[in-house]
Structure 1
Amino acid sequence: MASDSTEIDIEQILNMLRKRFLLILAVAIVVGIGATLFTYLLQGDVYQARSTIIVSSVKGADSAAVPLTYNDYTLNVKLVNSYSVLCKTDRVLDQVITELGLPMTPAQLADKITVSSAKDTEIIHIAVKDGDPVRAQAITNSVTRIFQKEVTEIMKMDNVQIIDEARLPGAPVSPNRIRNVALGLAVGLVLGFGLAFLIEILDRSVKSEEQITELLGIPVLGSVPRIIED
């Protein structure tokens, strides 16, 4: 009995898909077109520039370089977390805004900046996302240089070295337009199927002899044919 019920359910679903195929396809196309227009016309390109710095051997600002000891390395790793926060402070960002003449607040600029580091390393990456690739590069390098200067003034340590300055990004990092369009089509298919299923559930009209037999449990004795007038 369970097998028969499953077969009937699958058959009903397949019949529904065949009957409502155009509706499902239309919804998928409409949503897909909407996703395409949104991602190509309304979503602007976002570029990312990135610089890399290292927290090197700890020494006084006016001291000569000394060999790196294990204690120095341990301290440097601990300082990475503090330095990551310092990169996005108003003290640093106010200077960046003034230097580049940026039309934004420190909070707005901070939202564009991501500071990251690999666990238990002295390496810090400073990344900036912006709709203008030239500005993304300029902000990244400005933040990096000003941060390096502020570390010396605030921490009284000259232990930050720039490994890589930011390069001009050649291609946007977002949006992923192909993925967005594909996702739009997939969502459209799901919505179309859901709408077709809802219509099918709400449709209580009897359309076949089999439905009468199934609903009433009695055989059909006869039917009135449709007469087509000439």
Structure 2
Amino acid sequence: MPDKILQFTAIIQILKKNIFLIFLTTIITTLIGCSYLFFLATPQYSSQTQVIAKVEAGDNNAALAGQVQANSQMSTTIAQVMTSQSVLQEVIKNLGLNKTVSELKAEMTPTTTSSSQVVTLTVKDTNPYIAARIANETATVFTKKASKLLNVSNIGILAVAYPNTTPMSPNKKKGIAISVIAGLVIGFLISFVKTLFNTKVTDESDLEFLGISQLGSISKL
């Protein structure tokens, strides 16, 4: 127990001696992080639309349950077809986008749930209004092509996309916090490395850190 207390005391002494260095590295990394977040990073916005595989009413519960299960399984196929080359090429043409199919596809994320017939398409872009237009146009083109591509006609748009002017990234609060923590860690590491390679003894705390007993002291004249 005394050894642990001694080690803890030594660490505190190192931090005290290098407090300015730790403070400086924290300020520098925070300034770098803030410069990137506020001036260099391009904000990304997202917009969502939803497509549903509608259930046609049946005369008995068994038929209805079977239709629900079939449509739920179909949602996975819908998610894949929505971002297919056939659909995206027409979206690019209709909106006059200066993007390739692969670039546009990379900005899209279709999601499904096992218990739902709804497919949610999330589109991200540097412009919130363009993100919404792309999402809505993709849903429109897909529903028109659905009967031919999937041989079904019971697919419709459940929710249209609206511009979301709050950026999804970068997360400035999180980025600043990471910058501060990084600065503290770097400062601590530099302090410990500096102390380990510094064999010069300046006071009694250095002897404690090195585990050396003090034999005596010389008084100043």
Give TM-score scaled by structure 2 length.
0.91
Structure 1 residues 91, 208: CA separation in 2 closer, same or farther (over 3 Å shift)? same
Q: Report whether the alignment pairs 1:50 with 2:45.
A: no
Q: Which moved more, 1:148-157 or 1:86-95?
A: 148-157
Q: Report whether the alignment pairs 1:97 with 2:92.
A: yes
Q: Report whether the alignment pairs 1:143 with 2:138.
A: yes
CA distance in 1, matches of 2:134, 2:207: 73
Structure 1: which amino acid aligns with 2:68?
Answer: Y
Q: Report whether the alignment pairs 1:163 with 2:158.
A: yes
State the secondary structure of the residue aligned to 1:69.
helix
Show CA shifts across 1:130-163 (max 9, x none). Answer: 0001110110001101111111112221111111
Aligned length: 217
CA distance in 2, matches of 1:133, 1:216: 65
Structure 1: which amino acid aligns with 2:36?
Answer: F
Q: Percent identity?
A: 21
CA distance in 2, matches of 1:109, 1:17: 51
Q: Which moved more, 1:9-18 or 1:165-174?
A: 165-174
CA distance in 2, matches of 1:207, 1:101: 72
Structure 1 residues 117, 19: CA separation in 2 closer, same or farther (over 3 Å shift)? same
CA distance in 2, matches of 1:166, 1:207: 68
CA distance in 2, matches of 1:13, 1:84: 56
CA drift at 1:204: 0.5
Partner of 1:61: none
Partner of 1:74: 69
Partner of 1:25: 23
Structure 2: which amino acid aligns with 1:50?
Answer: Q
Q: Report whether the alignment pairs 1:219 with 2:205.
A: no
Structure 1 residues 54, 209: CA separation in 2 closer, same or farther (over 3 Å shift)? closer
Q: Which moved more, 1:168-177 or 1:106-115?
A: 168-177
Structure 1 residues 152, 175: CA separation in 2 closer, same or farther (over 3 Å shift)? same
Structure 1: which amino acid aligns with 2:108?
Answer: I
Larger radius of gyration: 1
Q: CA RMSD in A?
A: 2.1
Residue number among 33, 36, 39 corresponding to 2:34 in the alignment: 36
CA drift at 1:212: 6.1
Structure 1: which amino acid aligns with 2:48?
Answer: R
CA distance in 1, matches of 2:142, 2:212: 81
CA drift at 1:209: 5.4
CA drift at 1:170: 2.7
Partner of 1:86: 81
Give TM-score scaled by structure 1 length.
0.87
State the secondary structure of the residue aligned to 2:218.
coil
CA distance in 2, matches of 1:209, 1:157: 84
Preserved CA contact (<8 Å) 2:13 2:205: no
4+ residue segments displaced more than 4 Å: 65-68, 209-218
Q: Report whether the alignment pairs 1:199 with 2:194.
A: yes
Structure 2: which amino acid aligns with 1:184?
Answer: S
CA drift at 1:72: 1.3
Segments of structure 2 that go 5 or more residues without pairing to the other structure are none
